[in-house]
Structure formats: structure tokens, C-alpha cells
Structure 1
Amino acid sequence: MNVRLRTRLRTPLVIAATLFFVLAVLSLSFKHAPVMQAAEGLIISLTAPAINGLNWVGGSLKRVWSDYFYLVGLRKENAELKRRLEEYQLKEVRYQEALLEARRLEILLELKKQLALPVTGARVVAYDPSQWSRCVIIDIGKKEGADLGLAVLAQGGIVGRIIESYPHYAKVMLVVDRNSGADAIIQRNRVRGILQGKGGNRCSLEYVPKNADVEVGDLGLASGLGGIYPAGQVFGRVSQVDKKTGGPFQEIIVTPGANLSALEEVLVVKTAKLAFNP
């Protein structure tokens, strides 16, 4: 079958080759003949637009191909720039966090100098998820000297006191917890009352007679009585006063000076406790 196919193809190929040779000879022989020049002109006129179109298409394909590779390279470059930008943003966040932490620690260090009391630093590692209490967990415990009843301070004022202590952790009851209570005074005129936790982010100054002079904005301090909190440390500011309540006492709301919802670093005051009722 292959022999027959080769035989059948051989004849047309021979004819085509012969015609090509004859045309080449004629072209060389009659290159300057008017008839050949007219035929050549006609052929050029007919083929030139097609050749020009093919050149345009080829150029367009070349440009498209070049643009494609340019866009691929540009996409890779953009991806790399985006990655570097994300790295720089992450470094910026870390830098800002380190800067803020340094400022907080600087403030605590200044507070430590002002106290003139033995203190140790600690970090808040967790908040008590219970809805019935306001407590936090700090990363020091009995091994580090964080005993029951010790006062805990932070930037802005008193945080609370330790009510449970473990080998390397301790639980701190915040001053806004409903079970928290301590003797307090108004700085301006030394009016005394009991600072009682009310839940949320507020306390009340209890047992203050209606004729006592207490105003919104007054600063509430620890009196030092009871031996729980160091005298003169800030509980917070009076945010509400109501003398129209029934009974002999006015209703006074105190907002804590420390931001108890965003605690990170605290100081534990390592002094003897005169009274402690967890």
C-alpha cells in the first residue's frame, strides 16, 4: 500500500517541480520583457495588501505577546510589593505595641517610686468570664509572693485585691465587684464613706449623710483604714450625686480611675494585711 501511495504522489511532485523550473527559467529569460513586467506588477498589486495585512497581524501578535509578558511581570512585582508592605505594616504594629508597653511600664515605674512601698510587677493574663463577678488573673502567685489580700494598683488608681493565690498565678477581685468594699474618703474635704462595688464599671460611696458636701468631680481616695489599700491611692472620681433619695444617706456613684476593662500591667503591693475577708 505504501508503494502505491508513493507512486501516486511521485507524479504530481515531478510535475510541480518541472513547472517551477520552467517558470524560474522564463522569469530569468524575460525579466525585462514588458509582458513579464506587467504580470509582475499585477502580482505585486494583488499580493501587497495581503502581505501588509499579514505584517500588521504579526506585529499586533508580537505586541500582545510582549504586553502579556509585561503584565505577568508587573503582577509578580505587585505581589512582591504587597508582601513587603504587609511586612512593614506588621513591623509598624509591633513597634507601636512595644512603644505603648514601654510607656505603660514607665508610668508604673513612676508610680512605684511614688509609693515608697515594696511592690512587684505582674501582667494580666485573663479576665474572669463569669457575669456575677469582676476578676482578673495575673501571672504571679505564691512562689512570687502574691499572697491573699494584697492590693493591686495600675495606671490611674486602685485595681482591687488578691482573693485567690496559686503557685504562679493569682486571682484579683476588682473594686467594681459587688463583693468588694473598702473605707474611702473625699480628697477635698475628707468626707468618709464605704466604697462598694456595683458591677459594670462603677462603684458607690455608701453611708454618706445628705448634709455632707460631695460634688461631681470630687476625687475618692483610699483612707488606709482596714489595711487593705495604701492610704491616699485613688479609687476614682464622683460621677453622680443624688440627695433626693429616701433615707438619711445620699446616693454617690464613683467611676474608677483605672481602666479596669483594659488592664495589661499592674503592681502588687507587698505589705502586711490588717484585715482580709475574701
Structure 2
Amino acid sequence: MVDLRKRRGALVIISLVLCTVVLIVLQISGRYGGDELHNVGLRPLSPWQRALHRIIDSIDSVFKNHVLLVNLKEENRHIQEEVRRLKRENADLRESTQTLERLQRLLLLKAKVPAPMIAAEVVAYSPSAWFRTIVINKGQRDGVRKGLPVMTWEGVVGKVMRISSTSSVILLVIDRNSSVDCLVQRTRTRGILEGEGGGRCFLRYVPRTEDIQVGDHIVTSGL
């Protein structure tokens, strides 16, 4: 008996929902025109109609939010890709600018130094703790000879210590085995610039009576 009542209740609910859906469709499509049908059919079912509308609105809202989230995620991915591309272009531009500045300085140096010059690039640094050396990409076939001075636009770097046909090893002025004849630019006092090995040089063999001050520029007079 109880099961029969439950079944009847379920059938009544299903029938009411179906009637509500049919009446809503008819109302939207305009296939009925009388107020009597509205009063008889829709008013008793208005709670079901409102509930159905709320369900439909909820489903529509969830769908719209899902579409919005998907679109935002895709847009964010495109923005991140664009940021990475702009960073790469910015890095390339900085590198090109620095290369151009170095070339301009080398041209100015070449104009100041009357002797023939060979432009080269550093391709390696010595890992040894005993020697401060670098390797350049020019060698004997390019006209490099042992003992030649090596300069940048800022001044003397060192001298050629060993050469091969395509590369050369440069002994830096900061190496302990390096010694360069130099003079104090302000007083023209001569001395020897010796490497300390830790990134510094010492000015030696200068008489104590000479006027040497902090900030004086030291100019190399030979290698």
C-alpha cells in the first residue's frame, strides 16, 4: 500500500513537471491565446515553473562561467607567450647594442694607435689559480706574434704568451709573472707595474721622494 502511494506521488510530480514544461513552451511560442488557459493551467503550476526557471538559470550561469574561465585561461597563456617573446627580443637588442658600442670603441682605439692592429675576441679563460690568462680567436695565420701587446679601448690587457695557427694565449697584466714598464701620467715618474695575481697590480721601483698620490693615472710605456 505504501509503495503504491509512493508511485502515485512520483507520477503526479512527473506529470506536473511535464505539464509545466509543455505550458512554458506553448507560452513562449505563442500557440495559446486565452487568459483562461493561463489561469487554469499555469497558476497552479507557477511554483514548479519558478523552480524550473531557477534550475535552467543556474545551469546557464555555470556554463557561462565555465566558458569565461576557459577564455581567460587561454588569453593568459597568449599573454605569457608574448611576454617571453618580448623578453627574448629585449635581450637580443641589448646584446646588439653592446656589440655595437664595443665596435665603436675599437674603431676609436684604432684611430688613436698608429701601429697596425688585429681585432680579436676572447673565447676562453684560464681555470688555473697560478696563471691569469685568456685565449683569443686569432693566431699566427692572422699575423699574431709572441710578445705583442694586447689592448682594449680602456688600456693594456696583457701580452701574447703562446700562439697557434688559429688562437693565442694572452698573459694578463694582473698575473704574478707579468711586469710592464710604466709611468705616472701627472709627474712622468717611471716604474714597473707587476701583477699581484688576485686581480690587482703593484707599482714598484719608484723612489720614495717622488710625488705619488691616490688617484694618479698610470700609463704603460712598453711591454
The answer to whether TM tops 0.5 is yes
For 1:210, which of 205, 208, 211 is the aligned residue? 208
Quote the Cα distance in structure 2 between the aligned partners of 1:153 and 1:57: 81
Deviations 1:149-178 (A, max 9, x none): 111101211000110111211111110000
Deviation per residue, 1:122-168 (Å, 9 max, x gap): 11111111111111111111111122111110121100011011121
5 Å-filtered alignment, 1:30-45, equals 40=40, 44-45=43-44
- Displacement of 1:40 in angstroms is 4.4
Secondary structure class of the residue paired with 1:130: coil
Q: Percent identity?
A: 35
Higher helix share: 2
> How far does the alpha carbon of each residue in 1:178-214 deviate from its partner, in whole angstroms, 9 at most, with x for none?
0000111111111111110001221001111211111
Higher strand share: 1
For residue 161 of structure 2, what is the aligned residue in structure 1?
163
Q: CA deviation at 1:70?
A: 2.0
Who is 1:222 aligned against?
220
Whole-angstrom CA distance in 2 between matches of 1:120 and 1:57: 82
TM-score, normalization: structure 1? 0.64
RMSD: 2.2
Aligned partner (choices 101, 104, 107) of residue 106 of structure 1:
104
**Structure 1 Cα separation of the partners of residues 172 and 51 of structure 2:** 85
The aligned residue for residue 65 of structure 1 is: 63
Residue 187 (structure 1) aligned with residue 189 (structure 2)? no
Which amino acid is 1:196 matched to? E
Residue of structure 2 equivalent to 1:196: 194
Q: 1:82 corresponds to which residue?
A: 80
Classify the secondary structure of the residue corresponding to 2:66: helix
Find the aligned partners of 1:166 and 1:110 in 2 and give their Cα distance: 28
1:209 aligned partner, one-letter code: P
Aligned equivalent of 1:268: none
- The reply to whether residue 94 of structure 1 matches residue 128 of structure 2 is no
Equivalent residue letter for 1:208: V
Instruction: Name the SS of the counterpart of 2:123 in structure 1.
Output: strand
* SS at 1:216 equivalent: coil
The 2-side partners of 1:137 and 1:97 are apart by: 21
- Residue by residue over 1:3-50, the C-alpha shift from the partner in whole angstroms, topping out at 9 and shown as x without a partner, is xxxxxxxxxxxxx9xxx9xxxxxxxxxxxxxxxx9x947x843x3223
Aligned to 1:258: none
Q: C-alpha deviations, 1:78-111, integer Å up to 9, x for none? A: 2112111211121111011101110111011101
- Report 1 or 2 for greater relative contact order, CA contacts < 8 Å, sequence distance ≥ 6: 1
Aligned to 1:124: 122
Structure 2 gap ranges (5+)? 1-10, 16-36
**Alpha-carbon displacement from aligned partner over 1:188-246 (angstroms, at most 9, x marks no partner):** 1111111100012210011112111111111111223xxx2xxxxxxxxxxxxxxxxxx
